[in-house]
Amino acid sequence: MSDVVKTVRNGHILEVTLDRPKANAIDATTSQEMGRVFAEFRDDPELRVAILTGGGQRFFSAGWDLVAAADGEAYDSDYGVGGFGGISELPNFNKPVIAAVNGMAVGGGFEIVLACDLVIAAEHASFFVPEVKVGQLADSASIRLPKRLPTAVAMELLMTGRQMKAEEALKWGLVNQIVPADKLMEAARNLAEDISSSAPLAVQAVKETARESEALTVADAYGEMRAGQRAAYEAMLNSEDAEEGPRAFAEKRDPVWKGK
């Protein structure tokens, strides 16, 4: 186990903690390790849901390590198989990730939150992308944030770098829940358990379908699905689990998912 990227398996759930004091900033080496962890999670048939959080209570992540940058690490360094933070560009990544935001999510840290599927935030959490204040573009946030927030709100955050508190993030639907800090992981685990009780291939098909259909018309999205162009959807349709669900319902028992 890495000293910086710590993992704990809990049944079908993987908990990942970025623990790099003082601010959980991410350099290229850390990002590469995060990518390795999430690629292994993606490829492990026993794992269904991941929770990503930060060590401590002040920072989820301060994003790109500016100390490493000052020492010569380039903005476009090799961040590993998953891109910055391990999940922003990980290919074929259809398993859900819950961000348990334990403090400030700054710059690239906020971008990692945006790459997650669900967000549980501590009451003191905040989100901001200050890159414009240091002459940079928050590239991933500039792509994802306008898809998650009303355009005017997203552009204000991107162009001013102001902080969005947890309450405002909840208002705009950016987070699923706000909880006291000492209840953060409990809430994230409860949500992960709810997801992991669903058919895993169906959950993966949901994520794939939502992602791949985002820029399509409804008709085109249906067309691609019906043409067999969605791997996770096809895997679900042809799975043993697709037969187990109706059988369990008819027999008035809980389904036993095999993920195949």
CA–CA separation, 36 and 87 (whole Å) = 10
Listed as ranges, residues in the chain with pLDDT below 70 are: 1, 66-76
3-state secondary structure of 122: strand
SS3 label, residue 216 = coil
Q: Which residues of 213-251 are buried (b: 16+ CB within 10 A; e: fewer)?
A: beeeeeeebeeebeeeebebbebbeebebeeebeeeeee
Annotated active-site positions, please? Answer: 111, 131
pTM of the complete model: 0.93
Q: What is the pLDDT of residues 118-164, one digit of tens each?
A: 999 999 999 999 988 888 888 899 999 999 999 999 999 999 999 99
According to the model, what pLDDT value does residue 134 have? 81
